[in-house]
Amino acid sequence: MATRASWCGYLKVSLLHIPVKAYSATTSDAGKISLRQLHDGCWHRLKQQMSCPVHGPVAAENIASGYEAAEGEYIVLSDEELASLDEKEDRTVEIEAFVPSTLIEPVYYTEKTWYLTPNSPAGQRIYALLHGGLAEGELHAVGRAVIGRRAQPVLLRTIGKLVVLTVLRYDALVSKPEAFEEMVPGAAASEEEAGLFGQLIDSLSQSEFSLAKYRDEHAERMARLIEARSTERVSIPMREAETAKDDNQLMGLLIRSLQRSSAEAATTSGAGDVVDASVEHLGANDSRLKRPG
Residues of the domain holding 262:
247-289
Residue after which a domain boundary falls, among 173, 193, 220? 173
Residue 179 confidence (pLDDT): 86
Residue 30 confidence (pLDDT): 56
Q: Do both 164 and 281 map to the same domain?
A: no
pTM confidence score: 0.67
pLDDT digits (tens, 9 = 90+) for 51-69: 898 888 888 888 999 989 9
Question: Are β-strands 139-147 and 150-159 bridged in parallel, bridged antiparallel, or unpaired?
Answer: antiparallel
Residue after which a domain boundary falls, among 143, 173, 203? 173
Task: Please count the structural domains in the chain.
Answer: 2
Q: Do both 129 and 19 map to the same domain?
A: yes
- Phi, psi dihedral angles at 151 (to 5 degrees): -75, 125
pLDDT digits (tens, 9 = 90+) for 227-283: 888 888 777 776 665 555 555 667 777 777 787 777 766 665 554 444 444 444 444
61 found inside a domain: no
145 found inside a domain: yes
237 found inside a domain: no
